[in-house]
Amino acid sequence: MKDKNTIIGWVLIGLVFIGFMIYSSNNQKKQAEYARQKHELDSVQAVQDRAKFVADSARMAEQLQTELTDSTNEFFIARQGIDSTIVLENNLLKLNISTKGGQISRAELLDSTYKSRDPECSHVVLFDTKDIKMDFQFNGKGKNVKFSDFCLRVEKVEQDSNGKNNIVTLSWPYGNAGSLDITYKLMPDSYIVDIDVKANNMSDFFNADTKTLTIDWAEHIRQQEKGFAFENRYSTITYRDTENETDELSSSGSNAEETGEDIESKMRWVAFKTQFFSQILMADGSFRSSLLYSNMEKEEIKEGTKYLKWLRTTLESKFDPSGQNPTRMHLYLGPNKFSTLKNNEKMLDEQLGQETNYDLQSIVYLGWPIIRWINRFVFLPIFDFMTQWGLNMGLVLILITLIVKFCVFPLMKKSYMSSAYMRVLKPQMEELNKKYPNKEDAMAKNQEMMQIYSQYGVSPMGGCLPMLIQMPIWIALFNFIPNAIELRSQSFLWADDLSAYDDVIQFGSNIWGIGNHLSIFCVLWCLSTWVNTWISMRQQSYNAAMSAEQQQSMGCMKWFSYLMPLIFFFSFNSYSSGLNLYYFVSGLLSILMMWYLRATTDDNKLLATLEERKKARKSNPKKTMSMMERMQAMAEQQRRMKEEQRRNDRK
């Protein structure tokens, strides 16, 4: 029976195997037949595609030949046009408009306040012909038009009341009566030029679904300031979306060799921004961008070439091919001055008869939200008020420093007095160290220590909060001073430009970690920081008796604190001398204030005050517990829990 079952099993396995082989063979035949048919279809498609490619190539070659040889063809006329320049000018801005591509080929600021570092030009030149490309592109039915391929025809030039050109209209002709027109209008007393793009009798050129035109904007950004690396930190593409959020292309200064980002959100404006100047292209409605790009790898972009970065963006703007509604844009070409940006936007609103809400002044970086509020509503008004006095900008910075130190002096005094109270209680802390010499007694020692602090109404943390409150002010001015264009080209003492590093001492070659110069203001600031650190360390060593472990920890912290001024030197040697001046004066005032507080503080009187406070608190306890009393209660609870655990362990 067993042999019979075995034979039947093998027969069934054989039948399954044979069936699988037959199925596989049929399936392979079907796959081979499918592959043969697909290959035939692909071959037919390939032949058709090839034929279409040849036909298209022949058509394009014929069309190109016509454009190059037929003098009556509009493309021939446009290609063979004359490359000429029309100058638009007001009292602030001078623009060269090139018929080649119909773009602004040069922008020069005429305000003598903004001096150029280029010895060949007295005015700041934002860009010249070789630096910029702003190409307008249109998709037609059988032909895509790029203005950069053609020389446009000058249709109209208008002048203002002073006899200066302020409006020009350029045209790309099509057919008998069709054209694509671009008009530039320079607003009076403004850094803004209006740009209108309009189609005339072009319905047979565009597809019915054409809704947009493309703007390909690329530029080699010129170095305008002395410090290449420092200016690079502030040079990038900035944009504002339709949600009223201003952001910028991620960049890490000179370390960012290449950065690209696709932006899906719609944008109100896009700007090519440097430390003190910007070019802001604004849409009447919104732009949709497919690319924001920054590159520092190009051979022509490095220190000594007069260029910072290569920036590029590709934008899509609404476009009406019927010509009923022109595409309207506005281009700001000017300084990153908060009040100037705000006033230019106001003038634009008055011209358009509506509020645009571009918030152009947001391009001036003033820090994170809380820091930005401090700068915008405190330091910016103070700074603008003082600059009206006609004082040297170095003196303005010193006056601002004095105001800041005067305002924070109560906090500084509160912090110092907290440390002084700890100092006069040091003998009692030393007695605790003798009473509890072992590590196992740390809980009891801390509990008794907090009890003493609670009795006298002092807190070891009392000096920390006032110091933390001052940090936003420190950070606010760190963001404000490097972005204050009023400091540009302003000298003070040995610094010839407070917006850049002072380099009276030059090495002639780069030294690793330092550069090719030594900033004296930076050195003075680091020295004042070291002195303040020394005073602070002495103050802490006098405050309370410490255990061996605490002394060891304090020693590490002390050495790190002494190392910080050296770290600051390597980081800030190439920073704005105005910023280093502020930090130096602030540090010097801190030293003087600490000296004054120490000279006017009598430890015996402080101890007597604490004893009186202890008696008062004992005779009239507060209904609510202070922080030290709460900490004492927590420590007492922890001590009891630990003692209970020890008793349980003994059982």
pLDDT band at 447 (very low <50, low <70, confident <90, very high): confident
pLDDT band at 77 (very low <50, low <70, confident <90, very high): very low
Determine, yes or no, domain membership for 457. Answer: yes
SS3 of residue 621 by DSSP: coil
Q: What is the pLDDT of residues 245-255, one digit of tens each?
A: 888 886 554 33
Range 465-490 average pLDDT: 86
Range 27-52 average pLDDT: 52
Q: Please classify residue 620 by burial: count the beta carbons closer than 10 Å to its beta carbon, then call 0-12 exposed, 13-18 middle and 19+ buried.
A: exposed
Share of the chain above pLDDT 90, in %: 37
User: Could you tell me if 105 and 252 lie in one domain?
Assistant: yes
Query: Which residue type, as a one-letter code, is found at position 237?
Result: I
User: Could you tell me if 434 and 303 lie in one domain?
Assistant: no
Backbone phi, psi, residue 73, to 5° = -75, 140
pLDDT at 367: 85
Determine, yes or no, domain membership for 566. Answer: yes
Interior angle at CA 351, CA 347 and CA 355, nearest 5: 75
pLDDT for residue 206 is more than 60:
yes
Q: Which two tokens stand for residue 282?
A: 């604004």
Q: How far apart are CA 584 and CA 602, in angstroms?
A: 29
pLDDT at 534: 85
Interior angle at CA 158, CA 157 and CA 161, nearest 5: 155
pLDDT band at 634 (very low <50, low <70, confident <90, very high): low
pLDDT band at 10 (very low <50, low <70, confident <90, very high): very low
pLDDT for residue 618 is more than 80:
no
Range 327-343 average pLDDT: 95
pLDDT at 548: 56
Domain end, chosen from 31, 52, 71, is at 71
pLDDT for residue 3 is more than 50:
no
pLDDT band at 79 (very low <50, low <70, confident <90, very high): very low
Determine, yes or no, domain membership for 606. Answer: yes
Q: Which of 171-185, 387-401, 475-489, 608-622 has the lowest mean pLDDT?
A: 608-622
Domain end, chosen from 331, 365, 399, is at 365
Determine, yes or no, domain membership for 640. Answer: no
User: Could you tell me if 53 and 101 lie in one domain?
Assistant: no
Share of the chain above pLDDT 70, in %: 75
Q: What is the pLDDT of residues 277-317, one digit of tens each?
A: 999 999 998 898 767 888 765 656 667 678 888 899 999 99
Q: How far apart are CA 646 and CA 641, in angstroms?
A: 9
Contact by Cβ (8 Å): 334, 109: yes
Q: What is the pLDDT of residues 89-141, one digit of tens each?
A: 999 999 999 999 999 999 999 998 898 888 888 899 999 999 999 999 998 88
By C-alpha distance, which of 581, 569, 595 is closest to 401? Answer: 581
User: Could you tell me if 57 and 80 lie in one domain?
Assistant: no
User: Could you tell me if 322 and 223 lie in one domain?
Assistant: yes
pLDDT at 117: 84
pLDDT for residue 37 is more than 90:
no
By C-alpha distance, which of 365, 323, 105 is closest to 234? Answer: 365
b/e code 291-318 from CB counts within 10 Å (16+ = b): ebbbbbeeeebeeeeebbbbbbbbbbbb
Determine, yes or no, domain membership for 635. Answer: no
Interior angle at CA 384, CA 381 and CA 386, nearest 5: 105
The rounded radius of gyration (Å) of the Cα atoms in the chain is: 37
User: Could you tell me if 176 and 245 lie in one domain?
Assistant: yes
Query: Which residue type, as a one-letter code, is found at position 300?
Result: E
pLDDT for residue 387 is more than 80:
yes
User: Could you tell me if 313 and 442 lie in one domain?
Assistant: no
pLDDT at 62: 53
Range 226-240 average pLDDT: 88
Contact by Cβ (8 Å): 572, 500: no
Determine, yes or no, domain membership for 374. Answer: no
User: Could you tell me if 52 and 119 lie in one domain?
Assistant: no
Mean pLDDT for the chain overall:
80
Determine, yes or no, domain membership for 337. Answer: yes
SS3 of residue 258 by DSSP: strand
pLDDT at 554: 60
pLDDT at 17: 46
Determine, yes or no, domain membership for 26. Answer: no
User: Could you tell me if 48 and 141 lie in one domain?
Assistant: no
User: Could you tell me if 82 and 67 lie in one domain?
Assistant: no
Stronger pLDDT, 11 or 86, i.e. the higher one: 86
3-state helix, strand, coil in the chain (%, to 5): 50, 25, 25
Residues 6+ apart with CB under 8 A from 543: 419, 422, 423, 426, 460
Range 367-382 average pLDDT: 90
pLDDT for residue 339 is more than 70:
yes
Q: How far apart are CA 231 and CA 255, in angstroms?
A: 13
pLDDT at 513: 78
Q: How many domains does the chain have?
A: 3
Q: What is the pLDDT of residues 320-332, one digit of tens each?
A: 998 899 999 999 9
Q: How far apart are CA 249 and CA 364, in angstroms?
A: 15
Q: How far is CA 633 from the centre of its chain?
A: 48
Residues in the chain: 651
CATH number at residue 190: 2.70.98.90
Residue whose entry in the numeric block shows the structure tokens 């802390």: 429
Q: How far apart are CA 228 and CA 500, in angstroms?
A: 10
Q: What is the pLDDT of residues 530-581, one digit of tens each?
A: 998 888 777 666 555 555 555 555 666 777 778 888 888 888 888 899 999 9
Domain end, chosen from 50, 71, 92, is at 71
Q: What is the pLDDT of residues 499-517, one digit of tens each?
A: 999 988 888 787 887 888 8
pLDDT at 571: 85
pLDDT at 291: 79
By C-alpha distance, which of 328, 317, 226, 221 is closest to 278? Answer: 221
Q: How far apart are CA 304 and CA 510, in angstroms?
A: 13
User: Could you tell me if 450 and 563 lie in one domain?
Assistant: yes
Stronger pLDDT, 86 or 13, i.e. the higher one: 86
User: Could you tell me if 415 and 339 lie in one domain?
Assistant: no
pLDDT for residue 411 is more than 50:
yes
- The DSSP line for 191-234 is SEEEEEEEEES-TTTB-TT--EEEEEEEEEEEP-SS-HHHHHHT
Write out the residue range of the structural domain in which residue 329 sits.
76-365
Q: How far apart are CA 495 and CA 522, in angstroms?
A: 11
pTM summary value: 0.77
* DSSP assignment letter at 187: P
